Amino acid sequence: MAGYSQDELDDVQAKWRLRFPPDLIDRLRERRPLLVGDTDPRSFDWVTADPEHIRERLAWPFGSYWRSIEPNGIWWPEWGEKPASPIDQKEKLRGIFDRAPKLIPLASIRYIPEEPHESGNPVLSVMACDIIYCGANLTDWLERERGSFQVRPWPPIKEIRFWGKAVRYMQDENSIVRRQIAAAAAKRRQHGSTHT
């Protein structure tokens, strides 16, 4: 299918309060949806998709991360003191996510950061606190998505405020976040074994 017109992309960005990086605009001008096969269920069309679906995709990074906070005991040291109540924790986390670069949905749980507003931002997979790189940039992601994620060495990946740290916290087995998750899992196992 042909790509979007510049007017359509301008309308989409205004409607959803987003600013697409230049390389994403170039790709979307070439084709819609981004993934091969116009019927790929992971893709959506910014113009014809149900607005509720787009709202859900935009809300996913915060919502899925929030759902991993309580069961895994996650709280980054950079976030300061963890509020006592879940309501206050959620409010504080909402503020933290609001200050992070917005994530623009590409397909399924794949996102590209809005900032910096330049070409070459990495593509992320966002599933709760499990945030990983799916591509060093948009072109790299599309090539990996069409084939294997490990077919070739990864090019350098641009550092993105907040999101780069989220990836590193999950990659490093000794990070505070990984230790919090391990402690919560051990506690659940212990609690389960005392009730059997």
Query: Which position has the higher pLDDT, 40 or 158?
Result: 158
Q: How far apart are CA 123 and CA 157, in angstroms?
A: 10
Q: Assess contact for 125 and 110: CB atoms under 8 A.
A: yes
Strand (E) or helix (H) holding 54:
helix 51-72
Distance CA 120, CA 195 (A): 51
CB atoms within 10 A of CB 129: 20
Question: How far is it, in rounded angstroms, from Cα 62 to Cα 189?
Answer: 27
Residue type, 112: I
pLDDT, tens digit (0-9, with 9 covering 90-100), for 51-97 = 999 999 999 999 999 999 988 889 999 999 999 999 999 999 999 99
pLDDT digits (tens, 9 = 90+) for 94-134: 999 999 999 999 998 999 999 999 999 999 999 999 999 99
Residue 123 CB-density burial (10 A; 0-12 exposed, 13-18 middle, 19+ buried): buried
Element (H, E) at 144: helix 138-146
Total count of residues recorded for the chain: 196
What is the tens place of the pLDDT at every residue in 162-195?
999 999 999 888 888 888 888 888 888 887 755 5
Which amino acid type is present at position 79? W
Residue 24's pLDDT is 97
- Of the chain, the end-to-end C-alpha distance in Å amounts to 57
The per-residue pLDDT for 181 is: 87
What's the confidence (pLDDT) of residue 158?
Answer: 96
Measured between alpha carbons, how far is 180 from 161 in angstroms, rounded to an integer? Answer: 22
In this structure, which long-range contacts are made by residues 8-14, counting pairs with CB atoms below 8 Å and at least 24 apart in sequence?
A: 8/46, 8/47, 9/46, 11/47, 12/46, 12/47
Which three-class secondary structure state does DSSP give residue 107?
A: strand
CB of 156 closer than 8 Å to CB of 121: no
Q: Across residues 27-39, what is the average pLDDT?
A: 78
Section 152-163 average pLDDT: 92
CA angle 67, 161, 74 (to 5 degrees): 30
